[in-house]
Amino acid sequence: MDIRIIYDSEFGNTARIAEAIAQGARTAAANADHVTLHHISDVQPEQVLAADLLVIGSPTQGFRPTAPVRTLLSKLPRTGLAGKAVAAFDTRFTEEEIKSIGRMLSTMVDLFGYAAPRLADTAGKKGARLLVPPEGFYVG
């Protein structure tokens, strides 16, 4: 089984989560032939398509994944993830931080959400089978 963890990270938070996921996969997946961790700048669509299990992570920026993550996913064929197991995660502000910034931001987050659900939705539209619901990790 080829497991690939692909992430973008602006301040290192998403990278740390991706590294922990990779370590956990290496420990737990005794039948995994290959567990690799790729920063978004070092991965090509062909590498994504070669994975049996794909974990995609991005910071939430502007209520969505970063532009490089969106670009990579847009380059995949329409059914390029058909039959592949996928999990998605994001990093985000805590609810307390959002509330401290102001009610308007809190309302916008309620309306527009976070990166992980969008990643999961995009992967699903490309045929992926979601292993778990999208997950958010609070950073501050």
| pLDDT (tens digit per residue) in 77-123 | 999 999 999 999 999 998 888 888 888 988 998 899 999 999 999 99
Q: Where does residue 68 rank: exposed (0-12), middle (13-18), buried (19+ CB within 10 A)?
A: middle
φ, ψ dihedrals at 56, nearest 5°: -120, 130
CATH no. for residue 14?
3.40.50.360
Which tokens go with 39? 């920063």
Query: What confidence score (pLDDT) does residue 31 get?
Result: 66
Q: What count of Cα atoms within 13 Å lies in the side-chain half-sphere of residue 123?
A: 29
CA–CA distance, 25 with 98 (Å, rounded to integer) = 32
Q: Report the predicted TM-score, pTM, of the whole model to 2 decimal places.
A: 0.93
Answer for the pair 8, 68: CB distance below 8 angstroms, yes or no.
Answer: yes
Of 140 and 3, more confident: 3
| Helix, strand, or coil (residue 65) | coil
pLDDT of residue 56: 99
Q: How many structural domains is the chain composed of?
A: 1
Residue 91 CB neighbours (<10 A): 28
Q: What is the pLDDT of residue 106?
A: 87
Residue 126's domain comprises 2-139
State pLDDT tens for residues 19-71: 999 999 998 877 667 899 999 999 999 999 999 999 999 999 999 999 999 99
H-helix or E-strand spanning residue 129: strand 129-130
